[in-house]
Amino acid sequence: MANLQQLKASILADGTIDDQEVEVIRRELYADGEIDREEVEFLIALRNEARSTCPSFEKLFFDALKKNVLADGSIDAAEAAWLRKMLFADGNIDEGERKFLAELKSQAKQVSPEFQKLHDECMKR
């Protein structure tokens, strides 16, 4: 896999993430068929540092997060804390993030009280 820092610099050179760049990201990250935590952290950094992203990036982003978090079917306290940190990185919860949390909750076999609390807080905003 290409160096993620080099890839990030290349993608964010103009501050935006477009459909062509999403395909590059998808090819690199899914080369081995899986998304690990380091790759998810890479996507989070891209999303946080980009001035704008296209809808296909948002879909890739949330799909990768969901696949990673739900790998074992449940959301534990550590995953809930990680999600909280990631979602509140910009101090805001947007509609896409609310939808993501709702999907996580509905697809998880089991959620921790910490995730339930995060979910409930975000849905009130």
- DSSP per-residue codes, 52-102: EE-HHHHHHHHHHHHHHHTTTSEE-HHHHHHHHHHHTTTS---HHHHHHHH
Q: Which of 6, 74, 83, 92 is nearest to 37 (CA)?
A: 83
Number of domains in the chain: 2
Are 106 and 92 members of one domain? yes
CA atoms within 13 A on the CB side of 35: 22
Are 31 and 64 members of one domain? yes
Return the bridge partners of 110, or none: 74
Q: Is the pTM of this model over 0.85?
A: yes
Are 78 and 111 members of one domain? yes
User: What is the distance of C-alpha 20 from the center of its chain?
Assistant: 19
Residue 8: Cβ within 10 Å count: 17
Q: Model confidence over 42-95: pLDDT tens digits?
A: 999 999 999 999 999 999 999 999 999 999 999 999 999 999 998 988 888 999
Residues in the chain: 125
Are 12 and 55 members of one domain? yes
**For residue 3, what are the domain limits?**
1-69
Q: Model confidence over 18-43: pLDDT tens digits?
A: 999 999 999 999 888 888 889 999 99
Are 88 and 65 members of one domain? no
Are 60 and 95 members of one domain? no
Query: How buried is 16 (Cβ within 10 angstroms: 0-12 exposed, 13-18 middle, 19+ buried)?
Result: middle
Are 84 and 107 members of one domain? yes
